[in-house]
Structures are given as structure tokens and as C-alpha cells.
Amino acid sequence: MATKSKNTNVLTKIICVILSLICVFSAAHFAMNILTAVNAYHITAEDFNGAELGKSVAQSNKIRESVERDIQNMNYQLQAKDSNRLKKEFAKRKTDFVNSLTKSFIEEKAYFSEDEGEEFFNAEYPIEVDGLVYSIQIYSDDRISFLTDDESSARQKLNEKFDRFLKNKDFSNYTIIENRDCSDCVLGAYDKVNKTSFSSTDNAPEEKDVMSHEYAFVYKDGNVTCSKGFEGLFESFSVFNKNYDYYFYVDENDGSFSGYTAMIDTAKQGSDVNLLKSLIIATVLTLISLIFAIVCFAICGKKLENGKVKRAFIDYVPTDLHILISGFLISLSGIAAAFIIDLIISYAYPFENLLRLALYGTFAIAWALFIEGVTSIIRVCKSENGIIQNLLIYKAVKYLIIKPAKFIYRKVRPLLSYKFNNFNKMITRWIAGFAAVNILFLIVIDNLSFSSYKLVFIFGWVAFNGAVISKAVEYLKSLDIIITASHYRQTPQVDYNKLPESLKILVNSLNYTNAELKNAVDKAVADERMRTELITNVSHDLKTPLTSIISYVDLLKTCDITDENAKEYIDILDEKGGKLKRLIEDLIEASKITSGVINIEPFNINLAELATQAVVEHQQEFTDNSLTLVFKGDKRVVNAFADGNKTYRVIENLISNARKYSLKGTRVYADVYETQNYSIFEIKNTSAEPLDIPVSELKERFVRGDKSRTNEGNGLGLSIADNLCRAQNGYLNITIDGDLFKAQVMLPKVKN
């Protein structure tokens, strides 16, 4: 049920997000319709009357303003062709022109560098007449040189330049006017008074050719005639000069996507928009989108069965960084949307529908980023850590300030809080005295002017600090000697009488510790020697009478005894005598191994063959005890460098140990193999009793896995095996896993 609820929750969130994006996408479409109409026409509150806008292209204020601007530009162009009038105006500015540019030449020449700048003087001089600005350019071709010309020659060349300028018959090329440069229209004007004309084409078209276009007009003799597309474009003739005739038309075959073509396209799109309806629909869709987003916000961040909030991978990004990234991407979407809107309004591309889809998509992406950011913030707020701990600034403060400060505090605090037992008074006096003397020296040196007295105090200050440092080095040297002696358990070679009290205490403690350690070692060695001698002597003392007992038991077994109880008693004596004999032999061998009185004669042996022999000899004993001995190494050749007799004893001990302590009815596995450095005999068995004893203790003498000690065995087998392995530069590795007991005899491999 919990999984079903969780899946339903996720599905609901996905549906809410999708529906919210669809609503935003659709709302953007209706908002774009309103924007198109507003851009093309002068929209007032009266246009939101519930009816379609019903505007014509000629009513577009944008087109009207553009046409009026182009007519004004034509007027400027015609004015620029009235050369006689302009020459009189220009002649009045000659002196100012020459003086101003000569001054500029002299100033630039003063800072001229042949290696860094151009040789020739370049400048621009504007002249304004009747609202038109004419720009005279001084270029390198005028040959006014910083290297060869002085003020006089430069002034002469500027006069000549201005005279050449006055000889022009048409000053149109010198005018600086606002030119729309719409390549998709043809326009022209004729000055009836001065008999001059201007046209954007090489040849002025006939009136009938102008009016054959859908968007065109002709102004002639005070009357304006508009084509069908421009009907009602001019409500008054204020833009026209009655001394001029004008013509204008939009060239549909120009192939341009901008200019009047784009303005007409935008006007057509906005002409039939129902502003009120579009506004209502856009508003309703926006509100619905917001409602779906709020539902998504409300159901996100639900807690799981363990009480924790499931977080998405994006939630682990620091929240403030997440907000910055989302804000940046939303801003990019806004910039992209503004760019696409400009393309739609300013150009009439045939793929405009694709541009509109891209525009609506950018709004949907921005809205999706907003929903994603808010849902992430909600999940973080509901999580166990909260939003504060997920902030980048919090993490920066925590890991760059708080944690380092805590680390330093933890390191410094013990030093500050520790109360010295031996150094307290001494350190306090030394530090206080050292600081006081240094401060005194510095005060005196600072207040003395440079003289022999100041040099004396400086020398004294240096000598004082040198003496203190020397004492500190001597102290550290003695401490280092004591530490080194402690490491090697030696007596420190220092002058005890010259040591500080703290180091004397340390030396006394070290000497006492070394003496106690030596006594403990000597006592342990003596105890071990006595124990070994006791075992050896007792074993020898027991062996002699035991041999006689066993011999007499053997004689009794040959006698003609008819009493069945007597026969049973003799068998028991024989069994117990044999067991006691084996114990004594093991004790003697263990004693020899421990005391080092053992002769090891290693040579290259076939470990697999030796193990096979031991397995075959004990196979029947396993069968008699309801055990199965499985040996896998009988067909292998595994050589080792070891003593054959001692190795056989080790293998025999382990096989005997497995026979004694294995669970009845189980298998015992033995194997022989080799690794990179060792030849190994391995045996594994399942213990009949729980092995709740550490591996290290199993190798000790008289320690048995059978704590009840009801089974046969004396607890010396593993100890002897371990010592024999060590004597041959190998070792016995024992592993216990539950009731599984595994022993590995690891011996050196054959030497070449």
C-alpha cells in the first residue's frame, strides 16, 4: 500500500507539472497576440471592448511614423541639393573651420611619436545648417603630415581643403541624417521650385507603376492618392511640403524580411485580435498554471516509512547555488524570449510559426525551472537537515571556519588546560622572566638614539637570548639522550648531578623501570628453566618404573588366566600404561624443543609423499571411529626444504588430533599444495565440541579443545607441532570458523 501511494504521489506531481507547462505555453500564445497588436497600433482602453480590433494596415502607428520619417528624410536630401544657398552658409564657417582644425593639429603634433602613431592628421568637422549636419572629413589623402608640416603649412592645406569642399554641386553625401535604410521600399521627391529631385532608385518610376503596388501613395499638386493597402494612412498633409511632389511604395519582390515588409506582417497579425478575450484567456491560463504548480508544491516532500523525506539528486546541490543557477537559466530564457519577440516583430520570416513555438517553449522552460527550484527548496526544508545546512555559505563557514577552529581548539585546549606537576613553577618563572627581560631591552633600545650605548644594549639583548637558547638546547639534548636510552632499555649517559630536577625524576624512573624489567626477565627465565628441568627429570623418573609395569603387563597377558575379570583388568592396565608412556614421551619431546635441545637436519623432501604415507597409516583408525579421511594430494609432487622425521611427526600429530576431536560421521579433508613462498600441508575437520577458545591458546601446552577432557589426548600435540614448524623456519597456521577447524603446516619451499 505504501508503494502504491508513493507511485500515485509521483504520478500526480508529473501530471500537475505537465498541465502547468501546457497552460503557460498556451498563455504565452495569447499574450503574444496582445503584444503584436500593441506593437503595431496605438492601443487604448477603449480597444478592450470585447470585439475584434478590426484595424487596417494603414492604421498602424508604427507604419505611419516610419513613412513620415522617410518623407522627412527625403526633404533633407532635397535641401542638401540646394547648393547655392548652402555655399553661402558654409562660406561663413571657413575661418572657424581652419582655426579649429589647425589648433587640433598643433595639439596632436605635440604628442606625436613616429614609432607609435600615424604620420598624417585625421579629423572631422561638423557644420549645422537648418537642422542638417554636414561633416567634412580630413583624411591621409589630404597630406597634412606631423613630420613635415608646421602650423602655417597646415593652415594653408586646410584652406585649400575647404575651398574644394565649396565647389561641390551636391552636398547630399556630406549630410548626417537619420536614415532608416529600408531596402524593401522605393521613395522619391521632386522640388518644383529648384527643379531638383531625389529618388532611392536610379530611375524614378511612373505614377501608374507606383500605384500598381498594394502599399503605395503619390502626393502631387497638394493631393495624396493611396493604394488599397494604404487607404486612410494620411489623415492630414502636415508631413508634406507643398513645393514637393512625393511617391512611395513597398516593393513586394524585394525579398527582404525586415523593414516595411515586417511592419505590414506584424500589423496584419494584430489587426483582428480580440484584446479582451486574449487578456482573459491568458490570465485564466496563468492562474490555472499557478494552481497546478501550487498543488505540485503541496504534495512534494512527503515523508517515507522511515520518517525521512526522499530527496532528488538536485537537492544535494547547495540551495543558494541552486537558486543562482536556476535564476541564471531563467534570465537566459528571458533574454532568449526577448530576442525571439524582436525577431517576430521586426522581421517577416516564413518560418515565423517555428519562432513562435520557440518563444512559447522558452516561457515553458523558464516556468519549469521555477517549479523545479521551488519544489527542491520545499524538499530541502522538509528534510531532516533543513535548508540552513544545505546552503553553500553555511558549508563554507562550517568547513572553512568552524571546523578548522574546532580542530585548532581541540589541539590547543589540552595544552592550555593541562596542569604541570613538575614544570609548573619553573616554566612560569622562565617565561615571565624571559618576557620581562626582552620587553625591558626593547623599551630601552627603542628609546635610545643611535649611539654606543644603544649598540651595547643591542649586544646585551642578543647575548641574553643566545644564553637562553643555549640553555634550552642543552635541556633538549639531555632529554633526547634520556629518550634514546629509554628506547634501547639502557642507562642514560648523562651527568646526573648537572641535570634539572625534572630530568632527574625522569632518569630515576627510567633506571627503576630497567632494574624491575631485568629482575622480571631473570625470574621468568629461571622459572621456565626450572619448569623444563622438572618436566624432564620427572619424565625420566617415571619412564623407568613405567617400562617395568608395561613389561609385567605383557608377561601377564601370556599367562594362562581363566578369570574373565582379571583379563579385563590386564587390558585396562595395558591401555592406560600405553597412554601414560605416550604422555611421558610427549613431555620429554616438548621439553627438548622448548629448551632448544633438538637437532634439525633439513633437506629436500617430497611433502606430498610424506603426507600420503601418514594418511595411509591412519586410514583404518578413522574408519574405526566412523570418520572418512579424504586426501586430495596423493597424486601431486610438492617438495619442501625440511627435516623429514620432524615434519612427519607434525603431520601425524595433526591427523591424530583430527581423529580424536572430529564429529562422528563427518569427513576430514587433507591436502598438499604450494604457494609462492611455502609448501603447505592442510587438514580440515568438523569439531565434535564447540571451539570457544582463542587460536593462540590452542598452541599452548596442555590446552585441549575438549575442555571436559573426556577424550584421549594430553594437549601437547599442537604445541609440539607449532614448535617443530618454527624450528624449521615455517609456522603452523590455525583457523577456526564456527565448528570448522583448519590447520596449515607451512614449510619453506625447496632451495635450488
pLDDT-derived band at 471 (thresholds 50, 70, 90) equals confident
Helix (H/G/I), strand (E/B), else coil: 687: strand
At 107 the pLDDT is 92
Q: What is the pTM for the complete model shown? A: 0.53
Nearest of 174, 180, 208 to residue 83 by alpha carbon: 174
Winning range, highest mean pLDDT, from 145-159, 224-238, 290-304: 145-159
* pLDDT tens for each residue of 405-459: 888 888 777 666 656 555 555 666 777 777 788 888 778 777 776 666 777 778 8
Q: Write out the DSSP string of 81-95.
A: T-HHHHHHHHHTTHH
Q: Write out the DSSP string of 501-539.
A: HHHHHHHHHHHHHHHHHHHHHHHHHHHHHHHHHHHHHHH
Burial class (CB in 10 A: 0-12, 13-18, 19+), 637: exposed
Q: Which residue has the higher pLDDT, 138 or 508?
A: 138
467 Ramachandran zone, left/alpha/beta (phi>0; psi -120 to 50): alpha
> Can you read off the three cell numbers belonging to residue 746?
607451512
SS3 track for 375-405: HHHHHHHHCCCCCHHHCHHHHHHHHHHHHHH
Tell me the mean pLDDT in the region 535-549.
67
Amino acid making up residue 147: L
> Using an 8 Å Cβ cutoff, are 276 and 50 in contact?
yes
Least confident of 124-138, 197-211, 246-260, 568-582: 568-582
**In this structure, how many other beta carbons lie within 10 angstroms of the beta carbon of residue 49?**
11
- What is the chain's mean pLDDT, rounded? 83
Tell me the mean pLDDT in the region 601-629.
88
pLDDT-derived band at 706 (thresholds 50, 70, 90) equals very low
Q: Which residue has the higher pLDDT, 411 or 643?
A: 643
Winning range, highest mean pLDDT, from 31-35, 196-200, 471-475, 705-709: 31-35
* pLDDT tens for each residue of 304-351: 766 677 787 888 888 889 999 999 999 999 999 999 999 998 888 889
At 709 the pLDDT is 40
Type and span of the H or E element at 593: helix 564-595
At 539 the pLDDT is 62
* pLDDT tens for each residue of 519-534: 887 887 776 677 666 6
At 418 the pLDDT is 56
Helix (H/G/I), strand (E/B), else coil: 136: strand
> Can you read off the three cell numbers belonging to residue 329?
537559466
Distance CA 96, CA 90 (A): 11
The CA–CA distances, whole Å, from 10 to 3, 296, 301 equal 11, 10, 11
* pLDDT tens for each residue of 578-589: 666 666 666 666
Distance CA 451, CA 498 (A): 41
Torsion angles phi and psi, residue 445, rounded to 5: -60, -40
Instruction: Find how far residue 751's CA is from the centre of its chain.
Output: 54
> Can you read off the three cell numbers belonging to residue 405?
577552529
- As a whole number of Å, the CA-based R_g of the chain is 56
Tell me the mean pLDDT in the region 68-89.
86
At 354 the pLDDT is 94
Beta strands (DSSP E) in 290-447 are none
pLDDT-derived band at 280 (thresholds 50, 70, 90) equals very high
Q: Output DSSP code: residue 407.
A: H
> Can you read off the three cell numbers belonging to residue 569?
583388568
At 198 the pLDDT is 85
> Using an 8 Å Cβ cutoff, are 215 and 221 in contact?
no
Q: Which residue has the higher pLDDT, 50 or 506?
A: 50
Residue the block writes with cell 583379563:
567
Percent of the chain clearing pLDDT 70 (strictly above): 86
At 442 the pLDDT is 79
702 pLDDT more than 50: no
